[in-house]
């Protein structure tokens, strides 16, 4: 294989290097080598299976095919390719310190690795932005839910931006420089020691996404806190008159003004209310009408409006609890993303500045694998925090348990 590598580069000029830019890994003992190989293969399998389950759930369950879940699918595709292509090709190189697959496959591997990891990061930002809109601008977000072209355009833009960030430099840096700094038996990007380029690229790939996701998370928490405080104030104020009660119902969530719609909201079981709560609501109305000695006419309008106001308040509390779950999941996203990407990004810049002499190769390798660990964690960070995805997973993996849950009519998230 080494001979084929040399034959693939008959016209390549190797630049003079003052120091080795990618030192070979130290010789591991057989036991350590086997242990590392098992861990690497296990990480690849977890990444492949976890993201394949997300893709399969999206394809089989039509209930998952709405706008925000397309972004989960886009993230799962990029992370699945990391586990299926990038990690397996790197395992022999990581264990032996030598690339045996030729320069052409090295270029392809570098393009795919930079593309997929960058796309994964940009998808995280897109998902966080979508959650931000669903919480802080719920009305306009629901209006745009029917636009099928919007997620497709955003998903395509993610891949285009991810490709433009690193891939042209991976493909053409050697041609512009006129020589290569990469030995025939190693595989890394030509800009590996150019810290100016690394600083600019990592700013777009890591620092801007981290600030953006943090910004979305903070504003979601602030919005939830304001709504929670406003709701507690409205609940604590006792109504002074029928006019005040009607104003309170409008302030809460603008219930419909027509009597027919009010009847429909009062008498039918509503989302966010259990069947027993709906029955109690109907029975309380019936008792009120019997005591009044009349049918639900103009004299009972205040009672109907009060019940409608209570219904909308319960619905708002349900949405507030759902938004709290979204905020907590985004907080986890920020922490995991920072833990997996910050060490690699900082060491990459430092290593480029000192030409690879101030950072030990083993430490750099650990931070490098943290990036791929993030791709294996994403299926658990996102869909498993979503009730509909969890139900789809149960339907695929445990059909009998899914049938039992359906018989109990589990509410969807």
| pLDDT of the residue at 4 | 40
Residue 304 lies in a domain: no
Predicted confidence pLDDT, tens digits, the chain (413 residues): 334 433 344 455 666 554 444 444 446 678 888 999 999 999 999 999 999 999 998 888 888 887 778 888 999 999 999 999 999 999 999 888 889 888 999 999 999 999 999 999 999 999 888 888 888 887 777 766 655 557 888 999 999 999 999 999 999 998 988 888 888 889 999 998 888 899 999 999 999 999 999 898 888 888 877 877 776 655 555 554 444 444 343 334 444 444 333 333 333 334 444 444 444 444 444 454 444 454 555 555 555 555 556 665 666 666 667 666 767 777 787 888 889 999 998 888 888 788 767 778 888 888 889 999 999 998 888 666 677 787 888 888 887 776 776 666 544 44
- Report d(CA 79, CA 378) in Å as an integer: 8
pTM: 0.73
| pLDDT of the residue at 316 | 63
> SS3 breakdown of the chain: % helix, strand, coil, rounded to 5?
80, 0, 20
Residue 267 lies in a domain: no
Residue 370: HSE in the Cβ half-sphere, 13 Å Cα cutoff: 18
Residue 345 lies in a domain: no
Range of the domain at 44: 2-16+23-229+355-407
- Give the angle subtended at the CA of 403 by the CAs of 400 and 404, to the nearest 5°: 90
Q: How many domains does the chain have?
A: 1
Residue 250 lies in a domain: no
> Rounded to the nearest 5°, which phi and psi values hold at 320?
-65, -40
- Report d(CA 203, CA 163) in Å as an integer: 16
Residue 256 lies in a domain: no
Residue 278 lies in a domain: no
Q: DSSP letters along 280-294, please? A: HHHHHHHHHHHHHTS
List the beta bridge partners of residue 14: 180
Residue 44 lies in a domain: yes
| pLDDT of the residue at 239 | 52
Residue 294 lies in a domain: no
| SS3 label, residue 18 | coil
Q: What is the CATH number of the domain that holds 400?
A: 1.20.1070.10
């Amino acid at each position: 294989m080494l001979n084929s590598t040399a034959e693939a580069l008959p016209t390549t000029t190797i630049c003079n290097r003052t120091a080795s830019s990618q030192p070979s890994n130290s010789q591991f003992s057989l036991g350590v080598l086997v242990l590392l190989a098992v861990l690497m293969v296990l990480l690849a399998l977890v990444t492949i299976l976890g993201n394949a389950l997300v893709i399969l759930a999206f394809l089989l369950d039509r209930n998952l095919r709405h706008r925000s879940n397309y972004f989960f699918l886009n993230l799962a595709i990029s992370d699945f390719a990391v586990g299926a292509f990038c990690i397996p090709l790197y395992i022999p190189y990581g264990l032996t310190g030598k690339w045996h697959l030729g320069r052409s496959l090295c270029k392809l591997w570098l393009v795919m690795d930079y593309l997929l990891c960058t796309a994964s990061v940009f998808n995280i930002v897109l998902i966080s932005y979508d959650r931000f809109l669903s919480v802080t601008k719920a009305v306009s977000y629901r209006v745009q839910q029917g636009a099928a072209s919007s997620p497709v355009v955003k998903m395509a833009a993610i891949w285009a931006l991810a490709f433009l960030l690193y891939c042209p430099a991976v493909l053409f840096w050697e041609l512009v420089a006129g020589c290569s700094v990469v030995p025939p038996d190693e595989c890394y990007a030509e800009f590996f020691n150019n810290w100016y380029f690394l600083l600019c690229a990592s700013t777009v790939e890591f620092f801007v996404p981290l600030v953006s996701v943090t910004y979305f998370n903070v504003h979601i928490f602030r919005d939830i806190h304001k709504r929670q405080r406003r709701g507690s104030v409205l609940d604590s104020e006792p109504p002074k008159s029928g006019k005040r009660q009607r104003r309170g119902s409008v302030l809460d969530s603008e219930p419909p003004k027509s009597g027919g719609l009010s009847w429909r909201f009062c008498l039918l079981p509503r989302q966010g209310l259990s069947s027993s709560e709906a029955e109690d609501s109907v029975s309380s109305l019936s008792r009120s009408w019997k005591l009044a000695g009349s049918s639900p006419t103009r004299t009972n309008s205040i009672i109907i409006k009060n019940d409608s106001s209570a219904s909308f308040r319960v619905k708002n509390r349900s949405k507030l609890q759902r938004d709290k779950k979204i905020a907590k999941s985004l907080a986890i996203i920020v922490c995991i993303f920072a833990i997996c990407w910050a060490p690699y990004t900082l060491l990459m810049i430092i290593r480029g500045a000192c030409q690879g002499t101030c950072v030990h190769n083993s430490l750099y390798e650990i931070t490098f694998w943290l990036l791929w660990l993030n791709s294996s964690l994403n299926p658990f960070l996102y869909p498993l925090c979503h009730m509909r995805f969890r139900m789809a997973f149960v339907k695929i993996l445990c059909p009998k348990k899914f049938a039992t849950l359906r018989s109990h009519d589990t509410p969807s998230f």
